[in-house]
Each structure stands twice: as C-alpha cells, then as structure tokens.
Amino acid sequence: MNARVESIPAAKVAVAVRGLNVVYSTNAGEIPAVNNVDIDILAGKITGIIGESGSGKSTLMMGVMNAINKPGRITSGSVLVDGVGDMLKLDKERQRKARGKDMGFVFQAAQNSLNPLRRIGNQVLDLGRSHNVKDLRALIRRAKELLTRLGLDADRVLASYQHELSGGMRQRVGIMFALVLDARIVILDEATTALDMLSQASVLEIVRELHEERGLTTILITHDMGVVADLADRVAVMYGGEIVEQGSTEELLRKPKHPYTQGLIGAIPRITGDIDLAVPLKGSPPDVKTYMQPGCLFAGRCPLVMDKCRTERPTSRKLASGRDVSCFRVSDDD
C-alpha cells in the first residue's frame, strides 16, 4: 500500500499511537523512557501532554516524529499519522518530509533549532529547498505573513541572526518555521517556559488563534496545568514514561482520578484565598531509579499506596465515564 494514502479508520483521529516503547542505553542498562504508550490525538483539537520534568513527555513526542537520537531507540509500537502512514515504517526520506510538511515541531529552546550562522530568511529558504518547494518567493511571503501575524517586524526578523532576537521573538520564529510549510499537526514542546508572563500570554493567545484559523491539530507539551486548563480540549498525564490518566480537560480537572493528577492540581498556587491550600507533591520527580522500579512507578510518592502497588504494575482501564486511568485504587464505575 502507498504510505501516502494510508489513513486511520477513525476520521477524527490525526495520530494513533499504539504500544510505543522507547529505551535509552546507559551504564545501568536500558532505561524504559516511554513504556507501552497508547494515545489518540484527535484531529482539530488541542491535546495537552502534562507531567513533571523527566516524565517522558518530550521523548514521547520525539517518538511520534520517529526522531529519537542515540543512545535512545524505539523498540516497538506504531505511530499512524492520517494521510501519511506509520512513521516507524516509512523510509528515511519520507519521514524527513513528513517532519515539516505534515508535522511541525516547536522546540522548548527555539535557539537550539536555529542555525546561529545563517539569517532567519536564509534558513526559511533552506527549509524550502530541503522539501522541494518550487516557489521560494511564495514561501518567503508566507513566512512574512506568519511573522506579521505573530506580532513581529517580518523584514527585520528575516534579515536577523538568532542572537539578534529576544527569547520571545525566537519562540515566535519557531512557530513560524513549524507552520510555514502548512503542517496540519503542530507539536509545541514547553514553548513558553523561558518567557516572562506577558510574552507567555501573548504566544499562547497566538497559538489559540492560529489553531482555530488553520484548523490545526495541536499538541502542547507542558508541566504547567494552567496552560492546559486555558488551551487544551483533552489532556494526557504522564509519569515515569507512562500515561497514567487521560480524558477531556474539563472532566479531568474537575474530578481527577489518579493520585498523581490530584497531586499536580493540588500543588497549583491560588491567587486568592488561603495559600496553604496549595500542597506540593512529596518526593522527587521521576529519575532513572523510578523508571526501573517494579510495581506502580508513582508508589513511592503516592498517599494512597497499597502493598499491591509496590509489586504489580497497573494497566490503563477505560472507566464508565470514558476516562482512561492506570491505578488500582480507581474502580471501573468511578
């Protein structure tokens, strides 16, 4: 079958991830950084992937792009992108073209994806040539339109090197690069983490507007529950390389099921009222030892831990409400 015309049976699913496993080779052995993850990214929706640093969010999305670098590797699974095929089975050239044309990625530190030795405009042309764009002038026009839409002086930015731009400007440039080839799926990896509050609010509002105007499928990788609450239609909560809970944002925030989700929400500072109501999660974020431990990966920090949790690994179950949760404490009819 031609990979280009292969489609996902469910029309509302843009990306279907099944049984994805990513490991990293270390002196201590192979660390399962993403462990048997299943997730559907719905077309036209904003999906938030949330969790503390080290939970596997970025590794999961790099796995979706089939862009895991050594010492990491994908050991099994499938990533079926609608209209593209299984990213894990395509040849290298088709994968490369899918990254940019079909899926755009905005990195956490935009400067890491920009060439410090070439002006932004020249990098736009380089991107076009690498994807066999015939009309490079039209590509530059699209880049200018996007930069203007992002609130920047397009001519100045295209003539600049990355070091001549502020952090907020570089993040906007990163968004431009993700969209200039008309990608339908856009992944933003902590795209506002390094920005001040005003710049963050501005970038997030632009993301929302571009998502709606272009009918994008958007994935937000973040540790900020406020960003998810403000933008996302659905949310998946990751811990130790596993998705421990996923569902609609409204339902998940209103009534979180997994103790980790409850802890993340309970740790959010309040602007008004008793500040002591915000309780930080005890213990430390996931590390190498977390990934290697038997049983539930959250057991060492969980206030509801049972003996069973320390020896058996819970698997994801779909509740009557439609929520997916991995926890022995949560019953099917919750």
* pLDDT at res. 333: 62
* pLDDT at res. 324: 94
Angle between helix 197-214 and 167-179 (nearest 10): 10
According to DSSP, residue 184 is labeled S
Q: Which two tokens stand for residue 282?
A: 């005890």
Q: What are the phi and psi torsion angles at 300 (to 5°)?
A: -70, -15
Each residue of 155-171: pLDDT tens digit?
999 999 999 998 888 88
Is the domain spanning 11-102+183-325 CATH 3.40.50.300? The answer is yes
Q: Where are the beta strands (DSSP E) in 9-148?
A: 13-26, 29-42, 46-50, 72-81, 85-86, 103-106
Domain boundaries, the chain: 11-102+183-325
Place of tokens 């559907």: 40
List the pLDDT tens digit at each of the 334 positions of the chain: 344 344 444 448 999 999 999 999 988 788 999 999 999 999 999 999 999 988 999 999 999 999 999 999 999 999 999 999 999 999 999 999 999 899 999 887 666 678 999 999 999 999 999 999 999 999 999 999 999 988 899 999 999 999 999 888 888 899 999 999 999 999 999 877 667 777 778 888 888 999 999 999 999 999 888 889 989 999 999 999 999 999 999 999 999 999 999 999 988 776 555 656 667 788 888 888 888 888 999 999 999 999 999 999 999 988 888 889 999 998 766 5
Q: What share of the chain is helix, strand, coil (3-state, %, to 5)?
A: 35, 25, 40
Closest listed residue to residue 183, CA positions, set 14, 13, 48: 14
| Cα gap 166→20, rounded to integer Å | 37
DSSP H/E element including 330: none
39-72: burial string, b at 16+ Cβ within 10 Å, e else: bbbebebbbbbbbbebbbbbbbbbbbbbbbeeeb
